């Protein structure tokens, strides 16, 4: 099930990005070796970031020896090669181009190489995070049979047989939304500190009615994992899986707004908020509904 979640997330983001998916779900395997590459590469990225080696990438002499060129037969270089070919073919289309991210980038004047870079970024940001989130939801449902039964019952009231639910209808399922939020609260896809640097002139922020001045150039950050476990926000049982904490019934409206605000910080905030947030939530809602007939263990 975990691997299928990865195939699903990658197929969706490549379809959105390229107009055609990698078809991992169809063939039942890591079709182009992207997932294997990502799993090995992310470990290297984490190590280089923690040790400060990643700063050397700003120097061309170092980057040219480390980063993939697109001529490699495997690894990330192979993925770059696939991206370049796909985008080159798309540039050759005179009319009838699919409505996807590549066409949007083209209309805004980006070059082929710029589109390759943007596409690769969406793959990394939009596949691993979604698959991690989906696996977290499946884990929580597998561990809580009663919650899963209530979810299936809610879905059955609006979806019959093999009917495919629309996202508009899926958003109207409060228990589904609560299960997703509670799963991601306990197991956010990004557990590292989300960093920011205060602007040179400094900045004043208001926290729960109190103003704080942050001097210019100050490095700040927050951890979604820690915030999501604050007992003053989520209750003394914040370590427990309880989707009902997201329902208006039985909860103070002001407290619920506060919880949602803290939950959203997982996606960043302001102009730095994740651009794919709505797509990611749509993917999660659709996937959970479609596996309703499976007894997750």
What are the sequence ranges of the domains in the chain?
1-143, 163-297
Question: How far is residue 180's CA from residue 147's CA, in Å, rounded to a whole number?
Answer: 11
* Residue 244 pLDDT greater than 80, yes or no: yes
Among positive and negative, which fits the CA dihedral 230, 136, 8, 281? negative
Kindly report which listed range (49-58, 77-86, 180-189, 272-281) carries the lowest average pLDDT score. 49-58
Task: Please tell me which residue, 96 or 158, carries the higher pLDDT value.
Answer: 158
**Residues forming the annotated binding site?**
274
- Per the listing, tokens 């749509």 go with 282
State the pLDDT at residue 155: 92
Mean pLDDT across the chain: 86
Bind-site residues for heme:
274
Statement: residue 293 has pLDDT above 70: no
The helix (H) or strand (E) run that includes residue 12 is helix 2-18
pLDDT band for 281, please (50, 70, 90 cuts): very high
For residue 294, what pLDDT is reported? 64
pLDDT category at 250 given cuts 50, 70, 90 is: confident
Taking the CB of residue 214, how many other CB atoms lie within 10 A of it? 16
| Cβ count within 10 A of residue 96 | 5
Please choose, from the candidates 48, 72, 74, the residue with its C-alpha nearest in 3D space to the C-alpha of residue 62: 48
Q: Is the pLDDT of residue 202 over 90?
A: yes
Q: Tell whether the model's pLDDT for residue 278 goes beyond 70.
A: yes
Share of the chain above pLDDT 70, in %: 92
Among candidate residues 277, 284, 272, the one with its CA nearest the CA of residue 260: 277
Angle (deg, nearest 10), helices 34-51 and 112-143 = 100
Q: Which residue has the higher pLDDT, 44 or 137?
A: 137
Could you tell me the sign of the dihedral formed by the alpha carbons of 33, 23, 112, 279, in that order?
A: negative
Q: In the numeric block, which tokens belong to residue 208?
A: 């729960």
Reported as a pLDDT band with limits 50, 70 and 90, residue 153 is very high
Residues in CB range of 5: below 8 A, 6 or more apart: 131, 134, 135, 138, 287
Beta-bridge partners for 207? 210
**CA Rg, the chain, in Å?**
21
């Amino acid at each position: 099930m975990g691997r299928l979640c990865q195939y699903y997330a990658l197929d969706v983001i490549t379809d959105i990005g390229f107009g055609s998916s990698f078809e991992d779900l169809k063939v039942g395997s890591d079709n182009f070796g992207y997932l294997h590459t990502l799993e090995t590469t992310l470990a290297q990225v984490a190590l280089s970031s923690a040790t400060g080696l990643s700063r050397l990438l700003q120097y061309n002499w170092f980057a040219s020896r480390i980063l993939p060129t697109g001529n490699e037969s495997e690894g990330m270089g192979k993925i770059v090669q696939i991206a370049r070919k796909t985008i080159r073919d798309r540039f050759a289309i005179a009319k009838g181009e699919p409505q996807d991210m590549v066409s949007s980038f083209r209309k805004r004047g980006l070059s082929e190489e710029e589109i390759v870079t943007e596409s690769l970024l969406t793959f990394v940001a939009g596949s691993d995070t979604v698959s991690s989130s989906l696996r977290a939801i499946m884990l929580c449902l597998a561990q809580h049979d009663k919650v899963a039964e209530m979810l299936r019952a809610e879905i059955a009231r609006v979806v019959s047989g093999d009917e495919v639910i629309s996202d508009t209808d899926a958003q109207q399922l409060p228990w589904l939304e609560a299960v997703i939020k509670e799963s991601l609260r306990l197991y956010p896809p990004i557990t590292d500190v989300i960093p920011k640097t205060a602007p040179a002139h400094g900045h004043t922020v208001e926290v729960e009615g109190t103003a704080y001045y942050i001097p210019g150039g100050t490095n700040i950050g927050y951890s979604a994992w820690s915030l999501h476990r604050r007992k003053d926000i989520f209750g003394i049982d914040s370590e427990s899986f309880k989707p009902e904490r997201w329902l208006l019934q039985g909860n103070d409206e002001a407290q619920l707004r506060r919880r949602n605000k803290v939950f959203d910080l997982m996606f960043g905030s302001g102009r730095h908020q994740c651009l794919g947030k709505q797509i990611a939530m749509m993917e999660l809602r659709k996937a959970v509904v479609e596996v309703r007939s499976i007894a997750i263990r």
